[in-house]
Amino acid sequence: MLSLNRVSKFYKVGIFGGKELAAVRDVSFDVNEGEVVSLIGESGSGKTTIGKMILKLIEISRGSITCEGMDVATIRGGSVKSYYRHVQGVFQDPFSSYNPIFKADRVFSMIRSEYFPDTARSEWSDKIDGVLRAVSLEPDQVLNKYPHQLSGGQLQRLLVARALLLDLKFLVADEIISMLDASTRIDVLNLLAELKGRGMGILFITHDLSLGNYISEKTVILRRGVVVEMGATDKVFGNPTHPYTKVLISSVPQLHRKWADIEAEIKAHGGDDSGSCLFHQAYPPTAGVSAPDAPTLVKVEDDHFVGCFDLGQGICQVA
């Protein structure tokens, strides 16, 4: 349904923009219908940048993003509105998505004015009631309320309900539960699982491995804007191959183990393993493969791929 093919994003930095910073480099993965893909990485790894490129909030520097065969970068003018009918995003801080001087349900009136101007008031009210109940909200408890009168979880579910009013096929969920309390998190996660069951494709952006492991069928591990490991979630978590993935998984607190033992494992896995790198074994510098033809990942097993082990650079040094 949605496909990223060697997508890169560069920013001009330094005095007069004389230098170039690679925020995302050669990222490729697919999100299919009814599939949740977790994009996992530390802060600054490029996760949100990828989400913004999918949502056309920032331009792609290189590569392509296609949605149902259409190149997203070529969508212009009135076609953008049609694109947003099918592709929407929900972000980390629900409070920043609302204007505090307007009631929270104004997000619904904006959708009506843009996409359903000819819909009768009674029919529209029925639609609102339906989508609110679909996200476990009681209409009389959230409608005509200001953002400060609602909880973060209620506001987040209102944004999901807004998306459901459209013919939504793909959702970018960027850290949408990181600011919610534990009791609300599971409600939002279960809601995403329900949306997946309806056939919606979801890119679940997070730095929390446990959440990604819980909700997704496929996992993409991102480091410094580069995919270092990718595949079926059970294989990435059950057989982590890249040293960075091992560090991430080892860093998850475990009550039955002493932190000193975990730190020793992290140190053991955190070094430069380029000498035994599976990627360099498959594509040595002498192989004569050069960009843009050079692959970015090597197959470890079925539905499990790993990138360069050069933790110092985070990118393959194949010429």
Integer Cα distance of 134 and 198 in angstroms: 12
Which pLDDT tens digit goes with each residue over 260-269?
565 565 555 5
Given this model, what pLDDT does residue 243 score?
A: 85
| pTM, 2 dp | 0.83
Phi-psi region of 68 (alpha: psi -120 to 50; beta: other; left: phi over 0): left
The architecture (CATH level 2) of 2-238 comes to 3-Layer(aba) Sandwich (3.40)
Q: Are 50 and 4 spatial neighbours (Cβ–Cβ below 8 Å)? A: yes
Pairing of strands 62-67, 70-71: antiparallel
What's the CA gap between 218 and 233, in Å, rounded?
5
Q: Which residues, in sequence order, are CB contacts of 114 under 8 Å at separation 6+? A: 81
Positions of the chain with pLDDT under 70: 16-17, 252-276, 279-293, 310-319
Tell me the per-residue pLDDT of 217-238, one tens digit each, with 9 for 90 and over.
999 999 889 999 999 999 999 8
Domain segments of the chain as ranges: 2-238, 257-319
pLDDT value for 318: 35
- pLDDT (tens digit per residue) in 62-117: 999 999 888 999 998 888 988 998 998 988 777 788 888 998 888 888 888 888 88
Q: Would you state the pLDDT for residue 267? A: 56
Query: Facing residues of 272 across strands?
Result: none
Instruction: Say how far apart CA 220 and CA 226 lie, in whole Å.
Output: 10
Specify the pLDDT at position 14: 74
Residue 253, pLDDT score: 58
**pLDDT number for residue 314:** 41
pLDDT number for residue 280: 67
- The reported pLDDT for the residue numbered 317 is 39
